[in-house]
Amino acid sequence: MNTHLTQKGKNISRRDLALISERKGLWSLVFGLKSSRAFTLIELMIVVIIIAALSAMVVPRLSNRSEQAKIAVADADINSNIGLALKLYKLDNGRYPTTAQGLKALLSKPTSSPAPQNWNGPYLETDPIDPWKEEYKFKSPGEHNTSGYDLYSVGPDGVEGNEDDIKNWE
């Protein structure tokens, strides 16, 4: 059984067809192309387009997560980390630092009046800086928490008094 196929005007037996397909691959048999292990420009361009399309869908979602994470860090600092340091300061000294003494009173003993008698700090290890590289704002006694203190960050926009401020009151 010697059946012949024609490729570009040449007669090819089944046995030759098997040898060709083993050596050159199906593409070379069908299209008369030489066997190659390299990618074509079209294949590379398709891969680049697919990667670009996927990143165009994913990057906007991840960029918003970064801002949400910064807000969560500021909230944790205000309501937990710095808040705890202020409570420890009050426990040792009977009162919170004044607005004039500020949060620096948690790092080093204030010398301004009223000077703390039982300062046992430092109550914080580093300067209290929010995720947007601004100092946290502190007022004692507070305008919103009159029996305590107001502690807040001006938030992502850096403007005090709008809805993106992170604060220790409602």
User: Is the peptide bond preceding residue 122 cis, with omega within 30 degrees of 0?
Assistant: yes
134: tokens are 């601004």
Q: Identify the pLDDT of residue 128.
A: 92
| Buried-state track 87-125, b at ≥16 Cβ within 10 A, e below 16 | eebbeebeebbbeebbbbbbbeebeeeeebeebebebbe
CA 105/CA 116 separation, integer angstroms: 9
Q: What type of residue is 104?
A: K
Share of the chain above pLDDT 70, in %: 78
CA 139/CA 53 separation, integer angstroms: 49
Which residues have CB under 8 Å from 4's CB, separation 6+? 11, 12, 13
Q: Identify the pLDDT of residue 20.
A: 58
Return mean pLDDT, the chain.
81
Predicted confidence (pLDDT) at residue 66 exceeds the cutoff of 60? yes
User: Is the peptide bond preceding residue 141 cis, with omega within 30 degrees of 0?
Assistant: yes
Per-residue model confidence as pLDDT tens digits over 17-34: 666 555 555 555 555 555
What domains sit in the chain, N to C, each tagged with a CATH number?
A: 73-167 (3.30.700.10)
Predicted confidence (pLDDT) at residue 138 exceeds the cutoff of 90? yes
Q: Identify the pLDDT of residue 61.
A: 72
Q: Identify the pLDDT of residue 97.
A: 93
